[in-house]
């Protein structure tokens, strides 16, 4: 089909005929392409009038293309809005009144964002939008995922391709009441989606067996406990959230992974010893492309974390990020080998699918099964922007180094960035403490061999372990608007025979304190049987506390 005939078809689809709104609008045709190949690519488009700030949402020119409109405004912060269209790899068209417009196009993390300003007058306008890919992570064996979203399956294909998210795990079943099993909840996505992977194409797949218990009603009244996710299980969960042990045992028996979701829900820390989660949502659904919106929420951070701002960990994006880090490190130090994951709650929050994403290393080929296995093993890093690669003694992320004596381990971390990238801060974290830190200016990045768009910095590191522990890499990238983007690897584990890891005293004390507080808060609301699991968790935390240093 020629471009001319596509335009004619678009005019018919849009009602673009004689007498059209007294010629008050003009068709604008857009082509989003890969700058290197010239081929059309799917992408996310923001289209806005510069005169009145009104958002516009284009349509696909060919009827077999797709253009999915996304409009979300935060209830926590009304300034936080996400208005965009995810477009398939086809020409689009929008009917716009005369004036000046801004088009912003983005496609995941591996293409540079593009901003284009254009004017609409009396004649149809053509807008060319060539996106420049600066790195291809799939060629390096890395495939991305959004492991916590609420996007309707009918819209997932458009969003996944536009964001280049390889794996999407939508919460098909979602309950908010402690007595209502997820499979019977009225909040579930409507439809029968089966229990097998759904392939959009060979490297983009979503899986329908994912469940969220997000409990706001307990003991017959409004009483918040918190959330936990189960991803990649086999059957729909027809059991309520209590007893937690039953939920945990069934999830693991079905090969599912339990995600602790966010770190400061009321019950998040107390239930860890009983729930036995596999994943920790380190890049979570409070990290948005637009300004930070969920402030002064749930349980504040303890003073020992020494977080920036007012110390609550929920007043700024920076504080929220570090609150998550410090909580994660404390759990690792206590012996819980949680692997990092990422999700957006796209479909609910004002954030694109995959803004927070987890990259899993799948080696030379991709499969859903291989990706989920790598997620559970910690062959991964999470990111809201920067990209990382790293190895320790030649071993991939998530590996364990064992020794019968004290050992020195060394490795190499690579931060990938586009040419002309901004200043990046790189940090080595050992048992929760920053042991090595370097800030790199763009001039210090080296060209990536064979890729003229990509630069990298390669940072060696070496750590002496006298007892068992862990280490990980994180990096921060400052944005022009003062915002922060970060990446964080899964840990490597170091096991020294006869010398188990020991948590810091303030960390263990905090877990005991939080569990005691939660028992007191839930007494008189939860049943005696339900509270029994919290008392079991308290006993486990006290045992860990006894070994603290």
Q: Up-side HSE of residue 237: CA atoms within 13 Å toward CB?
A: 37
Residue 146 pLDDT level (bands cut at 50, 70, 90) = very high
Q: Give the model confidence (pLDDT) of 473-507 as tens digits.
A: 999 998 888 888 999 999 999 999 999 989 999 99
**In the prediction, which pLDDT does 3 show?**
44
Q: What is the mean pLDDT of residues 354-370?
A: 96
Q: Tell me how many degrees the CA angle 193-195-197 measures, rounded to the nearest 5.
A: 90
3-state secondary structure of 267: coil
Helix (H, G, I), strand (E, B) or coil at 233: coil
Q: Name the E strands within 98-240.
A: 99-106, 114-120, 125-131, 142-149, 167-170, 173-177, 198-201, 204-206, 210-218, 221-231
pTM for the complete prediction? 0.95
Q: Which residues pair with 409 in a beta bridge?
A: 463
> Which of these, 2, 1, 4, 11, lies nearest to 93 by C-alpha position?
11
Average per-residue pLDDT for the chain: 94
Listed residue (112, 116, 93) closest to 103, CA to CA: 116
Mean pLDDT to the nearest integer, 186-215 = 97
Residue 17 has pLDDT above 60, yes or no: no
Measured at the CA of 213, the angle between CA 277 and CA 542, to 5 degrees, comes to: 40
- Reported as type and span, the H/E element at residue 372 is helix 368-377
Domains of the chain: 3-131 (2.60.40.10), 136-384 (3.20.20.140), 386-500 (2.60.40.740), 505-545 (no CATH)
Q: What is the pLDDT of residue 406?
A: 94
Record the tokens describing residue 47, joined without a space: 């289209």
Average pLDDT over residues 261-270: 97
What is the model's pLDDT at position 18?
Answer: 32
pLDDT beyond 50 at 188 = yes
Instruction: Reply yes or no on whether the pLDDT at 185 is more than 90.
Output: yes
Per-residue pLDDT, averaged over 23-29, amounts to 91
What pLDDT is stored for residue 154 in this prediction?
Answer: 96
pLDDT at 439: 93
Q: What integer is the mean pLDDT of 355-384?
A: 97
pLDDT at 260: 96
Q: How far is CA 76 from CA 72, 267, 295, 312, 518, in A?
A: 12, 22, 8, 17, 25
Taking CB atoms within 8 Å and a gap of at least 24, the contacts of 75-78 are 76/293, 76/294, 76/295, 76/297, 77/291, 77/292, 77/293, 77/294, 77/295
Residue 364's pLDDT band, with cuts at 50, 70 and 90, is confident
Using the 8-state DSSP alphabet, how is residue 287 labeled?
Answer: -
pLDDT at 14 over 70: no
SS3 459: strand
Determine the pLDDT at residue 243. 98
State mean pLDDT over 326-354: 98
pLDDT-derived band at 12 (thresholds 50, 70, 90) equals very low
**Range of lowest pLDDT (93-97, 448-452, 524-528):** 448-452
Residue 23 has what pLDDT?
A: 58
Q: What is the mean pLDDT of residues 292-299?
A: 93
In the structure, what pLDDT confidence band is assigned to residue 450 with cuts at 50, 70 and 90? confident
The answer on pLDDT for 318 being more than 60 is yes
The long-range contacts involving 116-119, CB below 8 angstroms and separated by at least 24 positions, are 117/50, 118/28
Do 213 and 241 meet the contact criterion of CB atoms below 8 Å apart? Answer: yes
CA-to-CA separations, 153 to 67, 70, 142, in angstroms, rounded: 15, 14, 24
């Amino acid at each position: 089909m020629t471009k001319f005939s596509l335009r004619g078809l678009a005019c018919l689809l849009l009602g673009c005929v004689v007498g059209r709104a007294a010629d008050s609008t003009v068709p604008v045709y857009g082509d989003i392409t890969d700058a290197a190949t010239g081929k059309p690519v799917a992408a996310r488009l923001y289209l806005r009038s510069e005169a009145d700030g009104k958002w516009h949402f284009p349509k696909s020119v060919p009827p077999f293309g797709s253009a999915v409109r996304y409009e979300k405004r935060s209830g926590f912060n009304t300034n936080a809005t996400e208005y965009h269209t995810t477009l398939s790899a086809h020409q689009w068209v929008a009917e716009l009144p005369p004036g000046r417009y801004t088009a912003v196009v983005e496609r995941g993390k591996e293409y540079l964002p593009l901003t284009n300003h254009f004017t609409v007058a009396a004649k149809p306008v053509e807008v060319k939008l060539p996106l420049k890919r600066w790195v291809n992570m799939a060629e390096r064996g890395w495939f991305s995922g959004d492991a916590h979203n609420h996007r309707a399956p009918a819209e997932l294909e458009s969003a996944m391709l536009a964001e280049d998210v390889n794996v999407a795990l939508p919460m098909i079943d979602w309950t908010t009441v402690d007595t209502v099993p997820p499979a019977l909840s009225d909040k579930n996505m409507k439809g029968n989606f089966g229990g097998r992977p759904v392939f959009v194409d060979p490297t983009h797949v979503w899986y329908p067996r994912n469940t969220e218990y997000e409990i706001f009603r307990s003991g017959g009244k409004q009483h918040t406990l918190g959330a936990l996710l189960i991803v990649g299980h086999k059957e729909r969960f027809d059991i309520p959230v209590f007893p937690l042990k039953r939920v945990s045992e069934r999830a693991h028996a079905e090969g599912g992974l339990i995600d602790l979701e966010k770190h400061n829900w009321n019950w998040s820390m107390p239930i860890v010893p009983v729930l036995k989660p596999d994943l920790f949502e380190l890049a979570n659904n409070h990290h948005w492309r637009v300004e930070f919106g969920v402030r002064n929420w749930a349980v504040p951070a303890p003073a020992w974390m020494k977080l920036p701002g007012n110390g609550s960990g929920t007043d700024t994006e920076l504080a929220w990020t570090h609150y998550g880090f410090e909580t994660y490190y404390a759990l690792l130090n206590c012996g819980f080998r949680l692997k990092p994951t990422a999700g957006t709650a796209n479909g609910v929050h004002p954030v694109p699918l995959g803004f927070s994403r987890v990259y899993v290393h799948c080696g030379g080929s991709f499969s859903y099964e291989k990706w989920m296995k790598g997620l559970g093993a910690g062959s991964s890093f999470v990111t809201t922007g920067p990209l990382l690669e790293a190895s320790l003694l030649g071993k991939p992320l998530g590996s364990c180094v064992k020794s019968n004596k004290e050992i020195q381990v060394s490795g190499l971390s690579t931060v990938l960035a586009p040419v002309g990238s901004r200043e990046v801060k790189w940090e080595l974290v050992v048992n929760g403490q920053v042991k090595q830190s370097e800030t790199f200016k763009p001039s210090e990045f080296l060209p990536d061999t064979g890729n003229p768009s990509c630069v990298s910095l390669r940072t060696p590191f070496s750590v002496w372990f006298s007892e068992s522990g862990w280490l990980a890499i994180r990096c921060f990238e400052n944005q022009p608007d003062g915002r922060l983007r970060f990446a964080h690897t899964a840990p490597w584990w170091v096991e020294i025979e006869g010398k188990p890891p020991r948590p810091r005293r303030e960390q263990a004390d905090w877990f005991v304190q939080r569990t005691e507080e939660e028992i007191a808060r839930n007494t008189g609301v939860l049943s005696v049987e339900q509270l029994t699991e919290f008392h079991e968790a308290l006993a486990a935390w006290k045992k860990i506390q006894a070994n603290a240093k």
